[in-house]
Chain A
Amino acid sequence: MVLRTSRDGCWDIKDSFWGRYLAPAVDPLADTVITDEQLEGFEIRADVPKIPTALWQRWIALCFEFCGKSNRELEVSCRLLRKTDDPSVYRILVPVQKVSMASVRVDTFDKAIDIVTGETVQQYPPPGWTPCGSSHSHNTMDAFFSGTDDKYELGDPGLHIVVGQINKQLGTFKLAVSITANLRRFLIEPADVLELSDVVPDVTFHPNVLTAVSFPSAPGYTTALSTPLSYNSPWPTTDHYDSFPSTYSSRRVDLAPVQDYVNEFNAATQRLIDAARAVQLDPAEVLRQMSWDLDDQAYEASSDPLLADPFWYSV
């Protein structure tokens, strides 16, 4: 006798010498063959409302804002929502977040700024709006979904988009676009969900969103050239930006256990200086720019990395 369950498939009672137990069974009423291609595929609905250009370009403008402003290339993240009673209306919220060169951490979506109006949202999701996905920037790096992205997006069904390969000089970027469902990711084309019409002039993000994004403070050390950090600072010191502490510590650590790697690092640095000189780049400027990257890496490697799970529970 085959037992047919609503969610757990078909089972048969097996009799053995020792007793009886349940074992998986073939469904005798099976009437469909599913191919691997069908199982792995995704067919996007032709009538899916597309995110309008005027909204999307505000988000792209924010990605550009945090990419390569002077010497720093930072990620940034947003949440996508749709109006519950009119799914064709999209909304982009920029939650309060900590960003670095290679990561974003959002402790709660309950503090977020509307990218169009600058309105502050205190409860997520806001009444009348349904979460439908997210997007984040990979700045100048490739547009793809990383392992960290998978960890947080596969279980968050909806539209997830990475903006990468940003080139501020050319004004170009690349997108990786996906739908997540059933704890899986399906790659789709940008044109499937985005209106890719001409850019609307003078439309950009509301300046209030800048208050939601904080990033590592300037490196807390000086270079071998003793250049003051305040000199030609790559970041504006306006009230728009906040920062969180650098990983700088005045403690000296014993590098002896990793001396070989330190030597390799110094040798590579010397090769970088030589290479810079060979192409008429100022080695001091190159090293100063590298110091930002080092500071980001130091923060990522610290005991409180941005990538730690920010999960919390609230009633």
Chain B
Amino acid sequence: MALFNFSRPSSNNGESQVIRLLINDESVEVSMAEAQGKTVSELFQQFAGSIADVSRINRYVAQGRIVAGSTPVEAGTVYSGAVASESKGY
């Protein structure tokens, strides 16, 4: 009966660094505890869905350089997601 054993969100060997996800002017911060072992696209999918349509992000940028969505995230890094296509209609 170990299903309902819970951990605290900040408990990860004292890791306190955050990762910042940007889409346009909106941002969300994710603790490294929650980001550990995830890729850039996984992080956007999991944590940025409330600020943007992450399914339409087709480019990720970190420190001015384009990075693949499959890149493992690094603590203290700011990642930008960019939407780069659209349609408009009456």
Contacts and interface: CB of A to CB of B under 8 A. Distances in A.
Interface of A: 3, 5-7, 13, 20, 22, 75, 77, 82, 101-110, 124-125, 127, 130-134, 136, 138, 141, 146-149, 151-152, 154-158, 181-183, 306-315
25 contacts: A7-B47, A77-B86, A103-B89, A105-B87, A125-B82, A130-B25, A141-B90, A148-B87, A149-B88, A155-B83, A156-B23, A156-B56, A156-B86, A157-B23, A157-B26, A157-B51, A182-B50, A307-B89, A310-B85, A311-B58, A313-B59, A313-B69, A315-B60, A315-B66, A315-B69
A154 B24 CA distance: 12
Given A181-B26, A181-B51, A315-B68, A134 B86 contact: yes
Contact of A6 (B9, B26, B59, B85): B9
A310 B24 contact: no
Interface residues on B, range: 20 to 34
B87 A104 contact: yes
B58 A312 contact: yes
Given A127-B64, A181-B51, A315-B66, A309 B82 contact: no
Contacts of B64: 127
B26 to A, nearest CB: 4
Contacts of A132: 24-25
A54 B87 CA distance: 27
A110 B50 CA distance: 26
Interface in B37-57: 47, 50-56
Interface of B: 3-4, 6, 9, 23-26, 47, 50-56, 58-60, 64, 66-69, 82-90
B50 A311 contact: no
Contacts of B23: 156-157
A109 B59 CA distance: 11
Main DSSP-derived SS at the A contact region: loop
Given A131-B24, A157-B51, A148 B88 contact: yes
A20 B87 CA distance: 48
A77 B85 contact: no
A132 B82 CA distance: 11
Nearest to B53: A155
Contacts of B88: 75, 77, 103-104, 134, 136, 146, 148-149, 152
A82 B77 CA distance: 22
A154 B58 CA distance: 16
B4 to A, nearest CB: 6
